[in-house]
Amino acid sequence: MSIKLPSIIADFVRAKNDFQVEAMLACLTEDAIVEDEGQTLRGTAAIKSWLERTHAQYDDRLDVIGVQSEGSRYIVTAQVFGNFDGSPVPLDFDFVIAAGKISALCITLHGE
């Protein structure tokens, strides 16, 4: 069974797995917000630094295993593989879409 994601989220995941920073940023609104590991990042400049830092630290890849949606909100569950203890780990990627782009992303352990 294939999991159907909105194209902007599918593009983001593909770019994340290929570590194409500019392609990931192109999926975001200029004022996008990302919440991850207790920090909140605002705007593409801060998000770019976070993407580069987390890739260097974890070299992580996503394998999407589920999606739920309600309106403009999509919760994508993925097994995340990388250079960290406990890999792979299931995470929820809570995306909000606005004007065809990702305006918010909150990353948490699956089910939290």
Q: What is the pLDDT of residues 34-89, one digit of tens each?
A: 999 999 999 999 999 999 999 999 999 999 999 999 999 999 999 999 999 999 99
The residues spanned by each domain of the chain are: 7-109
Choice between 2 and 95, residue whose per-residue pLDDT is larger: 95
- What contacts 85, CB < 8 A, 6 or more positions away? none
Fold of the domain built from segment(s) 7-109: Nuclear Transport Factor 2; Chain: A, (3.10.450)
pLDDT at 3 over 90: no
Locus of tokens 């394998």: 63
pTM summary value: 0.94
**pLDDT at residue number 50:** 96
**64-71 contacts, C-beta under 8 A, 24 or more apart:** 64/3, 64/5, 64/13, 65/3, 65/90, 66/3, 67/3, 67/4, 67/5
pLDDT of 111 reads 81
Task: Give the separation between CA 85 and CA 64, rounded to whole angstroms.
Answer: 20
pLDDT value of position 29? 98
